[in-house]
Amino acid sequence: MVMPIELVASFRISASIIEDEPSSHLDLLKRLGQMGYDTEYVGYAGNLEDLEQAAERLDYGEVVGTLVGGKVAGFVWRHDRPEATKRVIEVKSHPGQARPALFAIVVEAVDIASHVDVAHLGGHDLDAMEGAGFFQLVVTESIEKNLPPEFVGRDEEKRIIQIFVPGKEAPLGELLARVHPVGLKALGGTSGNLTGQAPSTDRLGAAITSLNLGMYHIDVDGSPDLKQRGSYAIHRIVGGERSVIRPKK
């Protein structure tokens, strides 16, 4: 069953629990609330088409994503909007052997340094990571044959293609269009696990990691089920003196 995106005008931390929402999503909202963030629920996507519809509602330069502990963990954006693409290309990451240790994006006036726990950097200098982009896709034949091999690292167990784009030399928008010009349309995306644990052992980490172009379902034990393209929370990140997550009015 395809789950349509349902816009909720004012879902806040103090609201009653929505029983049919993924528990990891509720955990995320609770954690954000405890940190003092103003959060409102936007909805969650059941498939790629739902996500595309959500992207159509984005204002110029805005990004949809999730925050964990004040750090940007994953996001999607309109890569046909230059300002949004520019910000995504400014993502700071490190393509290490155990997947990227950090994702952070400049969103309006939000200070990256104030939102990044240096414990997640694995000894890497934040400034040295600037300009490295990362995203991942569930493997399909049509995607695989169009991928530039120099950007691909493969996780055979989960059949995920991981693509590392070194700085501004290869704009994410152009690369995405070449990989899957029809299905992805005007969307770009990244994901990251900021918990320091493997997704299979951390349900919240698994849910955050699922915020990517492949969108897989997170099973009850926290493992990805590639037979189902899953549902996950969609939030809007708006820059300011502090991060605010809210739906489009």
- pLDDT digits over 121-148, tens only? 334 343 433 333 333 444 455 545 554 4
Rounded-to-integer distance, Cα 123 and Cα 119, Å: 8
Domain count, the chain: 1
Q: What is the mean pLDDT of the segment spanning 244-248? A: 29
Q: Which domain holds residue 37?
A: 23-245
Question: Does 100 reside within a domain?
Answer: yes
Q: Provide CB contacts within 8 A for 244, sequence distance 6+.
A: 37, 38, 39, 237, 238
- What is residue 86's three-state secondary structure? helix
In which residue are the tokens 């991928």 written? 147
Residue 15 has pLDDT above 50, yes or no: no
Rounded-to-integer distance, Cα 67 and Cα 224, Å: 20
Question: Does 3 reside within a domain?
Answer: no
Question: Does 8 reside within a domain?
Answer: no
Question: Does 4 reside within a domain?
Answer: no
Question: Does 2 reside within a domain?
Answer: no
Model confidence, pTM: 0.23
- pLDDT digits over 169-186, tens only? 333 334 444 443 333 332
Residue 209 has pLDDT above 50, yes or no: no
Question: Does 51 reside within a domain?
Answer: yes
CA dihedral 198, 246, 41, 206 (to 10 degrees): -10
